[in-house]
Amino acid sequence: MARRWLVTGCSTGLGRALAQRLAQEGEQVLATARDPRTLADLADRHPELITAALDVRDPDQCAAAVATAQSAFGGIDVLVNNAGFGQFGTVEEVSDAEVHGQFETNVYGPWRLTRLVLPLFRAQGHGHAIFVGSVAGQVPFPGLSAYTASKFAVEGLAETLAAEVAHLGVRVTLVQPGGFATSYGSSTILPEQRVDAYEPVAGPMLTGIRTMNENPAINSPELFADTVFHVAGMANPPLRVPVGPDAREYLGAAYTARTKEFEDVTAAGLHLGRPSAQP
């Protein structure tokens, strides 16, 4: 039986690959983008796919998109919070307005849409909220302070939601992509203020982001689409799913480092407020 999907950020990259895969599988899909004209070719090829304008920063458009899916499909089975962008800059460089813009799209938008869809999930007694995070939700990258902070926030949002809705039959999954061949690198926004002192750490990071798609080993968006489609079909999907070999490597190293740090702090007695004597 075809599932009913609402997917954000489908104009390019990961969202577009997912929308196309779902349509090819015969799923019912509401593919959204700030400019739905970018989706016209998909809609022409796949009659089961419909489109809508959706800027996740706009509460009215969020409500309208949910209403459109409910009217067209009779409900929503899977919500994929994919829309997002990257704000570059170190902590000192990024302004209040730039931090707010980053969180408005990457955190407040997914929160807003999820809040709108949850009553439908509760009434149905089932549903799956999928959040597109990033390895940056666990791994700090210098020069990506606002983006990293927003993805850490999405991790907290997804994990808390999972604890709140499990008894309602609602599932939550956070997918954690590594590097993918998308427009992320070219569309990452620079801060208005730059501080030369951070060039040794932020400069190489920016170069790496801008040239990411030149890496012959970069992940294909189709891998992301395959993973999300598979996870949505699982009876008991995991909370976190790394996507791509590089994601597994980055996240594995991060978890190992955190475990060691926890063990070192515990061994030092800092959690007791009585540090043990150092050798």
250 as an active site residue: the answer is: no
Return the exposure string of 52-74: e unless at least 16 CB atoms fall within 10 Å of the residue's CB, then b: bbbbbeeeebbeebbebbbeebe
- Sequence length of the chain is 279
Of 108, 147, 198, 255, catalytic: 147
Report in angstroms the alpha-carbon separations of 237 from 103, 224, 240, 245.
27, 16, 9, 20
Which positions are annotated as active-site residues?
A: 147
